[in-house]
Chains A and B, each alone.
Chain A
Amino acid sequence: MEGLAMLRQLIGQLQELLELYGSHPSSLVLPSPSLSPLPHPLHLLQPLPPPPPPPPPLLSQFHSHHQRQQQQRQHHSWCVLNVDDGSADDYYSLIMAAGKSGNFKMLEPCKPPHAKKPRKERTRGKLSGTTNTAEIMEQQIWKDFPEDLFEAVIARLPIATFFRFRSVCRKWNSLLDSQSFSQHCAQVPQGNPWFYTITHENVNSGAIYDPSSKKWHHPTISSLPNKMIVLPVASAGGLVCFLDIGHRNFYVCNPLTQSFKELPARSVKVWSRVAVGMTLNGNSTCGGYKILWVGCDGEFEVYDSLKNSWTRPGHMPSSIKLPLSLNFRSQAVSIDGTLYFMRSDPEGIVSYDMVNGVWKQYIIPAPLHLTDHTLAECGGRIMLVGLLTKNAATCVCIWELQKMTLLWKEVDRMPNIWCLEFYGKHVRMTCLGNRGLLMLSLRSRQMNRLVTYDVSNREWLKVPGCVVPRGRKRQWIACGTAFHPCLTAIA
């Protein structure tokens, strides 16, 4: 039964193709299932009447019939369904596969398709999705293609693929230095951020997670100097800002390329813990970026990448209550050039406008029973992510700030089934990322669960465990940040 449905589908597709080419189907051979099993002359492309289920032998009938018809078709530019290369079984399996994907590949004119697909392609199940791949394999077409437009295509490859294809030739290996390539990259809309994480097992280098392909990458050559323990504290425009573990020196790098810079020393020689925020001046790192650090005593400084220097733009206004009990586990959030930091005592948010140099304070009561909370943002809305623990039950909750009332309103929760795993256990949560897509690392004594949350479509997804290549043990995520993978961001 299924075989016939697929045969009909095949015939339908052939009809379409014939319309496209406007050729006459005069010698195309197809069996009509209503006829008896004896070989028969054809009807061509008549809409099949609802038939009784044909016995499989019909296909082998077709096969032998087809062979007889072969000579008549020599001159025709169409060579569809050349089953001579294989047996009828192969042909049948071809139809079965095509039917299953519901998307039979468009056949090339003047070239008989292989009745038996090469095994690699078959096992990869490539019939659906990237269609026409077989057809685009014409080299001649590309010989005269202008280089500039080559770059337009390469800029649209997935990041990992781009790095793989750097081994194609010298030109492709040096694309990162090309101005025109950078311009093409700037035209490609940004997708999901990636996550740069530091694992407990390997604090010297990062493990990078790509949520689009759900793969962990372990770059062989770290962008950071060895023998230094640095923690990612902020990111903007594809660059990640690191602070060493003693809170002294800042470093900026693009985790994908070797672009790296150690920032000049700060003028304030106090090495207590600081909160850090990072903003871009324009749309990309070409326009420069700024990094702000602020301490609990109200001291702050701003680094300007264009001048490569720190400046102290003033003092915090007296209206802002000191000391600032900054929430250091929360990343700063940046919206339109203003940075937002979480504080407690009083609970709320302090913001700094990087363009105009103005500090503001917002008193916002925190939800009850809240722990491990961090700020995030999505489309200009300020969100709060945190753990709600009531009795023995723990749940991850998402709140949105109501700007009119300055109150947090709960808008989402992690699916209950996942929360059950933490029932009765002491859980800590780290939030990686602060915009759009967040990665949550939930740790209890024996396990480390990783989850991503997409704020705009409220989607919770599990993250595969982080395992080094040729390793088997899952790594524990200590901390990290999200960053937008950008090939052309320069520190």
Chain B
Amino acid sequence: MKFCAVKQYFDDENNNNITSGASTTMIPLPNVESHPLAILITYCKKHLKIKANNADNKKETEKEMEQYEQELLKKVMPQELTELILAANYLNFKEALDFFCRAVASAIQNKSIEFVRKFFGLESDFELGEEEKLREEFAWSFEGVDED
């Protein structure tokens, strides 16, 4: 289900028996900027189109969607990524939220801990020795990883 928040709005309207045609309803979206909204709409349309084209073939759908997502990522600005995540979250657009969060996750997954701290503006608030203990406990996850 895409744009669940918008659908909710329509459902509520129907429940209130407001007789206005769907085409002329104005839905207030105070927390979404126009630019990320445009991108989300394009994403949604593309998703539906790919799904329709590959009605029975789930794997084809996934493959095409992946290709489209890669292309989209190349065109998206870094500032936009946070706006897109916020917008997708507000609109309750699960697929887009999942995609953009995955994009950020995959961007940071091979980075060092220092990098991640700087990236998110976090400080290490561990006590003396706490961090070393953690690194020892999870030493297996550090194997084969270059710390920058």
List chain A positions with a Cβ less than 8 A from chain B.
20, 103, 106, 120, 124, 126, 130-133, 135-143, 145-146, 149-150, 152-158, 160-173, 187-188, 215, 217-221, 469
Contact of A168 among B102, B105, B109, B116 (CB under 8 A): B116
Q: How far is the CB of B1 from chain A (nearest CB, A)?
A: 14
B138 touching A166 by the CB < 8 A rule?
A: yes
B78 touching A173 by the CB < 8 A rule?
A: no
Q: How far is the CA of A186 from the CA of B33 in the complex (A)?
A: 29
B85: chain A residues at CB < 8 Å are 149, 152-153
A139 touching B119 by the CB < 8 A rule?
A: yes
Q: How far is the CA of A469 from the CA of B146 in the complex (A)?
A: 16
Q: How far is the CA of A215 from the CA of B113 in the complex (A)?
A: 21
B140 touching A167 by the CB < 8 A rule?
A: no
Q: How far is the CB of B92 from chain A (nearest CB, A)?
A: 12
CB-CB nearest in chain B for A213: B144
A164 touching B119 by the CB < 8 A rule?
A: no
The stretch of B11-19, B49-57, B124-132 in contact with A is B124-132
Q: Pick 28 A–B contacts, CB within 8 A, sort by A.
A: A103-B74, A106-B74, A124-B110, A131-B70, A132-B73, A136-B107, A137-B119, A141-B78, A142-B119, A152-B85, A152-B97, A153-B104, A153-B105, A160-B141, A161-B110, A162-B141, A164-B145, A167-B135, A168-B113, A169-B122, A173-B134, A187-B94, A217-B140, A218-B140, A220-B136, A220-B137, A221-B137, A469-B143
A150 touching B126 by the CB < 8 A rule?
A: no
CB-CB nearest in chain B for A162: B141
B79 touching A154 by the CB < 8 A rule?
A: no
A130 touching B75 by the CB < 8 A rule?
A: no
B101: chain A residues at CB < 8 Å are 149, 152-153, 155-156
Given known pairs A164-B113, A164-B141, A169-B122, the reply for A156 and B76 (CB within 8 Å) is no
Q: How far is the CB of A367 from chain B (nearest CB, A)?
A: 30
A141 touching B82 by the CB < 8 A rule?
A: yes
A219 touching B140 by the CB < 8 A rule?
A: yes
B79: chain A residues at CB < 8 Å are 138, 141
B116 touching A165 by the CB < 8 A rule?
A: yes
Q: How far is the CA of A218 from the CA of B143 in the complex (A)?
A: 10
Q: Beyond A167-B113, A169-B125: 17 further Cβ-contacts under 8 Å?
A: A20-B75, A132-B78, A136-B107, A136-B119, A140-B121, A142-B119, A145-B86, A149-B86, A152-B97, A157-B108, A160-B140, A165-B113, A168-B122, A172-B122, A187-B94, A217-B141, A220-B136
B82 touching A130 by the CB < 8 A rule?
A: no
A142: chain B residues at CB < 8 Å are 82, 119-121
Contact of A164 among B73, B106, B121, B138 (CB under 8 A): B138
Contact of A132 among B76, B123, B142 (CB under 8 A): B76
B102: chain A residues at CB < 8 Å are 156
Q: How far is the CA of A166 from the CA of B140 in the complex (A)?
A: 13
Q: How far is the CA of A157 from the CA of B106 in the complex (A)?
A: 7
Q: How far is the CA of A287 from the CA of B147 in the complex (A)?
A: 40
A170 touching B126 by the CB < 8 A rule?
A: yes
A130 touching B119 by the CB < 8 A rule?
A: no
Q: Which one of A124, A154, A171 has the greatest number of beta carbons of chain B within 10 Å?
A: A154
A120: chain B residues at CB < 8 Å are 146, 148
B117 interface hit (Cβ, 8 Å): yes
Q: How far is the CA of A137 from the CA of B148 in the complex (A)?
A: 15
Q: How far is the CB of A420 from chain B (nearest CB, A)?
A: 32
Q: How far is the CB of A138 from chain B (nearest CB, A)?
A: 5
Q: How far is the CB of A154 from chain B (nearest CB, A)?
A: 7
A215: chain B residues at CB < 8 Å are 143-144
A135 touching B137 by the CB < 8 A rule?
A: no
